[in-house]
Amino acid sequence: MHIFLHFAIPLLVALLFFRKQWQKAFIIMILAMLIDIDHLLAAPIYDASRCSIGFHPLHTIIPITAYFLMCFFKKTRLIGIGLMIHIILDSIDCQMTNGVWWV
């Protein structure tokens, strides 16, 4: 379900708020999933019980602040929204699996 939401929510946002160029908006927001490349630095790479927020380098407060700020500038808005959707979904996953929002 978690992975499905990483595709469904950006699609919904693209269709609702970027109607004229929804395909472009959707692709750019989906590219935000590349943030998970930082999982390659962890051992094991994937751990279903691990909260990525606060653990992986691109899922920490300084990058998250940059992602949030990107939402306010036209040139970076779509990637910023995609990154924030990703972080929010990961945070919800942390809450549901571990009972915490942040490590």
pLDDT at 24 over 90: yes
Q: How far apart are CA 63 and CA 17, in angstroms?
A: 25
28-41 pLDDT, tens digit per residue, is 999 999 999 999 99
Run of H or E residues at 77: helix 77-98
Among 75, 79, 27, smallest CA distance to 58 is for: 79
Structural tokens at position 39: 């999982």
Report field, pTM of the whole predicted structure over 0.85? yes
pLDDT at 103 over 70: no
Q: Is 99 left (phi over 0), alpha (psi -120 to 50) or beta?
A: left
